[in-house]
Amino acid sequence: MTGRAGRTVKAGNQASAGDLLELVRSGRATTRGALQQATGLSRATVGQRLDRLFRAGWLREGAGGPVDSPLGGRPSITLEFDDEHAVVLAADLDTRHGRAAVLTLTGEILAEHAGVLVIDEGPEAVLGELGRWFAELLEKAGQPAETVCGIGLAVPGPVDSDTGRVVQPPIMPGWDGYDIRGRLGRAFAEHTGLRTAQGAGSEAGIPVRAEVPVLVDNDANLMAYGEQRTGYPDCSAFALVKVSTGIGAGMVVGGAIYRGIDGGAGDIGHIRVGADALCRCGSYGCLAAVASGGAVARRLAESGVPAASGSDVRDLLTAGHPEAMALAREAGRQVGDVLATVVTLLNPGVLMIAGDLAGTPFLTGVRELLYQRALPRSTAHLDVVTSRLGERAGLVGAGALVVEYLYAPERVEERLLALGV
């Protein structure tokens, strides 16, 4: 049988405690009887495996469900995933700003902070500062560091998901191949005073906690994941295009992020569009060089309008600046021309426009060229929309990525054994 994100849940005697937790979390089976029916396990075996989840603090009993038997009787006790036993830390980096939050295991934001964080200052400084933000946010949320089960980070560059390292990022100088997971884990431990197995070692008599896992992914991927899971869970092919300082796309196919073979999928900002503008990647004619927020900002600055980044353009668009609106619409047309090919290839049900330029002028330009260039068959069932979660999309997606990683059936078994239950 299939669980969330296309995962297969084992049936019969092979169904583990992790499989039972997956069925409860997905809502497919929320009583002991329903778990027996879904897996084919005996009542005693289901009870034994649920007991491990209760002892770990991952399950709780809810209110009584409906009575299944026509003869009446006591209602079945429902089972619920206990989202209060731990919290997740998440951060989303842009080129000049960062955002961080403490989230519950179901994605509710408990505390949040946004501020200046310049990616050009390099990973050592930026990740060190994120560690400080995390410590302050945990205090604000009233959560001790020991409740953190994982950290998720969104970055504006291609990421090898196996290693968590960015690979030749055009707009992240000094980050190529850097050990982001290790540095952020150390920064978290340093600023919270939490001793982990990743740290410098424990003193006699002081317990050492296992290393807090850090997951890293591309920002557009995590924005797409957050938006799809919260707003379009039934959409089997979902695409999000982020247009800020650069341009990138994230795709969720069959409930899972599509990354390609090494994290390079969705890097549409470096598709050549025939212009002669120099891109930050070193090539000429990239889409990002002519249609990103950074490109629009440069054109505005050349005409005497103060603008240095995509966020400056966003502020001008909010104020209704006529030249900024005209340039944003033209940028939308250029992006829409490229998206006609993307839509034809992927055939998504939802195409979401997000980022600094995601307003009416840009969206109008996208629609003009997209519907003009794409085959009617590709757009017949396509919804072109703007972000629902706004600036929080990356945080929500990063948090969800951590939770899905930690509570996947195979990893549940590993963690239960480590806990001794």
Measured CA to CA in angstroms, residue 140 lies from 114, 133, 151, 181, 247 at distances of 14, 10, 17, 24, 34
Q: Report, as an integer, the average pLDDT of 74-80.
A: 83
Kind and range of the H or E element at 59?
strand 59-64
Question: β-pairing, 109-116 with 97-103?
Answer: antiparallel
Say if residue 75's pLDDT is above 80: no
Question: Which of 103, 105, 108, 113 has its CA nearest to residue 136?
Answer: 113
pLDDT of 320-364, one tens digit each? 999 999 999 999 999 999 999 999 999 999 999 999 999 999 999
* Alpha helix ranges (H) inside 32-173: 32-39, 43-56, 123-141
- Alpha-carbon dihedral of residues 245, 88, 213, 416, nearest 10 degrees? -150
Q: Is 257 exposed, middle or buried (0-12, 13-18, 19+ CB in 10 A)?
A: buried
Residue-wise burial string across 227-248, b where 16 or more C-beta atoms lie within 10 A, e elsewhere: bbbbbbeebebbbbbbbbbbbb
Give the tokens for residue 48.
């034994």
Closest CA to 131 of 210, 187, 203, 49: 187
DSSP-derived letter for residue 177 is T
pLDDT tens, position by position, 248-307: 999 999 999 999 988 889 999 999 997 788 888 889 999 999 999 999 999 999 999 999
CA distances (Å), origin 109, targets 64, 104, 150, 226, 280:
29, 7, 15, 13, 34
DSSP, collapsed to helix, strand or coil, labels residue 271 as coil
Q: How far apart are CA 234 and CA 228, in angstroms?
A: 8
Averaged pLDDT score across all residues of the chain: 90
Q: Give me the phi and psi of 90, to 5 degrees please.
A: -140, 150
Q: pLDDT tens digit string along 144-166?
A: 999 999 999 999 999 998 999 99
Among all chains, which residue has been given the structure tokens 């209704």? 320
Buried b (16+ CB within 10 A) or exposed e, 333-365: bbbbbbbbebbeebbbebbbbbbbbbbebbbeb
pLDDT digits (tens, 9 = 90+) for 193-209: 886 554 434 443 444 46
Q: pLDDT value at position 1?
A: 45
> What pLDDT, in 10s, does the model give residues 165-185?
999 888 899 999 999 999 999
Q: What is the mean pLDDT of residues 43-68?
A: 87
CA–CA dist 112, 63 (Å, integer)? 32
pTM higher than 0.75 for the full model? yes
Mean pLDDT of 368-382: 93
Q: Quick one: pLDDT at residue 9?
A: 62
Structure confidence by residue, pLDDT tens digits, 225-247: 999 999 999 999 999 999 998 89
